[in-house]
């Protein structure tokens, strides 16, 4: 099962799969797509704002790594009751649109922990007071509730998930790979800051260097398209940001980050094939608009 595209063209609903472009449900005549989504499918799309319901093309990821659709839980806001705390359930507090939270969400999915770790999505614009008061005082996402403790900081959370839960290991044993992994993980903040700073300036000259750094890093191990050859936490740490930067730079700066960077292009292609990642992806245009508001409309 692949990514489903929900679109409303001429008031007809089309559901098709990215792996199989032949629509699964086509031309549900007379039912505007947004109505169908509101009444029938809304529970699958809790992360989308009402304006997104009526967008022409909304990407909805529905399949888990195991091929079963995961029904995403509703987003909790200031009026929502707090879920029980420390009752033995492992909870991952996230926002569906936060790249840091997405790191933890991808890790959970790629380790096949959908049944073991419950997602608790928070509305960051209208946060429930109990989140800061009772769950995670820094009031940021992601945070992980496990074994009567709350862990924060996305890079720490993904390492913790990898070490303390079953599923494929996402961190190498090989010391040289580990050393390189640490170097790349510690570069993520510099990467993010340098690229976002470029948003206000000439993207090509400013953003070029950090992407060139990644292109060089991707040349180190050749047994796969990923940073360490095989898929790892390093890829997970970068994926949510590269996803956003690629779209934003293309849409608003006419800058293609893959131009002249074949390794990066292959990395993007490789990561986009992973179910556990794909299901965490939001509508790219919606994410690019968030960056536009944040970086291009400020005086």
* Helical (H) or strand (E) element with 188: helix 175-198
Segments of 236-290 assigned E as strands: none
Chain centroid to CA 127: 20
CB within 8 A of 10, min separation 6: which ones?
none
Cβ of 16: how many Cβ atoms within 10 Å? 18
Closer to ligand GSH by CB, 6 or 120: give it: 120
Q: Which stretch binds ligand GSH (CB under 6 A): 83-91, 134-142, 215-223, 258-266?
A: 134-142
Both structure tokens of 68 = 């079963």
Using rule CB under 6 A, residue 141 touches ligand GSH? yes
Near ligand GSH in 72-111, by CB under 6 A: 95, 98, 100
∠ Cα 19 23 26 (to 5°): 165
Near ligand GSH in 180-219, by CB under 6 A: none
**Candidate list 124, 184, 236, 288; residue touching ligand GSH; CB under 6 A:** 124
Q: Provide, rounded to whole angstroms, the least separation between the CB of residue 31 and ligand GSH.
A: 35
Q: Provide, rounded to whole angstroms, the least separation between the CB of residue 115 and ligand GSH.
A: 24
Q: Which stretch binds ligand GSH (CB under 6 A): 75-83, 111-119, 135-143, 172-180?
A: 135-143
Using rule CB under 6 A, residue 159 touches ligand GSH? no
CB within 8 A of 248, min separation 6: which ones?
199, 287, 288, 291, 292
Q: Which stretch binds ligand GSH (CB under 6 A): 19-27, 85-93, 139-147, 212-220?
A: 139-147
Using rule CB under 6 A, residue 70 touches ligand GSH? no
Near ligand GSH in 234-293, by CB under 6 A: none
How far apart are alpha carbons 226 and 217 in whole angstroms?
10
**Candidate list 55, 91, 108, 140; residue touching ligand GSH; CB under 6 A:** 140
**Candidate list 14, 64, 154, 247; residue touching ligand GSH; CB under 6 A:** 154
**Candidate list 5, 70, 153, 285; residue touching ligand GSH; CB under 6 A:** 153
Check if the beta carbon of residue 185 is closer than 8 Å to that of residue 236: no
How far apart are alpha carbons 194 and 84 in whole angstroms?
40
Strand 12-17 relative to strand 117-121, pairing: unpaired
Site residues for ligand GSH per CB under 6 A = 95, 98, 100, 124, 139-142, 153-154
């Amino acid at each position: 099962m692949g990514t489903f595209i929900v679109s409303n063209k001429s008031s007809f609903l089309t559901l098709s799969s990215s792996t199989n472009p032949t629509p699964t449900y086509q031309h549900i005549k007379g039912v505007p797509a947004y109505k169908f989504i509101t009444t029938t499918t809304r529970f699958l799309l809790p992360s989308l704002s009402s304006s997104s319901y009526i967008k022409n093309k909304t990407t909805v990821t529905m399949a888990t790594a195991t091929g079963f659709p995961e029904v995403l839980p509703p987003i909790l806001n200031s009026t929502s009751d707090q879920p029980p705390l420390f009752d033995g359930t492992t909870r991952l507090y996230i926002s569906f649109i936060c790249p840091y939270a997405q790191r933890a969400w991808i890790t959970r999915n790629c380790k096949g922990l959908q049944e073991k770790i419950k997602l608790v999505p928070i509305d960051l614009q209208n946060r429930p007071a109990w989140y800061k008061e009772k769950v995670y005082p820094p009031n940021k996402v992601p945070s992980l509730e496990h074994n009567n403790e709350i862990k924060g900081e996305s890079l720490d959370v993904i390492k913790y998930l990898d070490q303390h839960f079953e599923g494929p290991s996402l961190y190498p044993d090989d010391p040289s790979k580990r050393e390189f992994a640490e170097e790349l993980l510690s570069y993520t903040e510099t990467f993010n800051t340098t690229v976002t700073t470029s948003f206000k300036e000439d993207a090509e000259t400013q953003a070029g260097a950090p992407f060139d750094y990644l292109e060089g890093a991707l040349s180190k191990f050749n047994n796969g398209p990923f940073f360490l050859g095989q898929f790892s936490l390093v890829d997970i740490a970068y994926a949510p940001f590269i996803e956003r930067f690629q779209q934003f730079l293309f849409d608003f700066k006419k800058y293609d980050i893959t131009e002249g960077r074949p390794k990066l292009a292959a990395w993007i292609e490789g990561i986009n094939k992973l179910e556990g990642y794909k299901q965490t992806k939001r509508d790219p245009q919606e994410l690019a608009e968030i960056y536009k508001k944040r970086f291009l409309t400020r005086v």
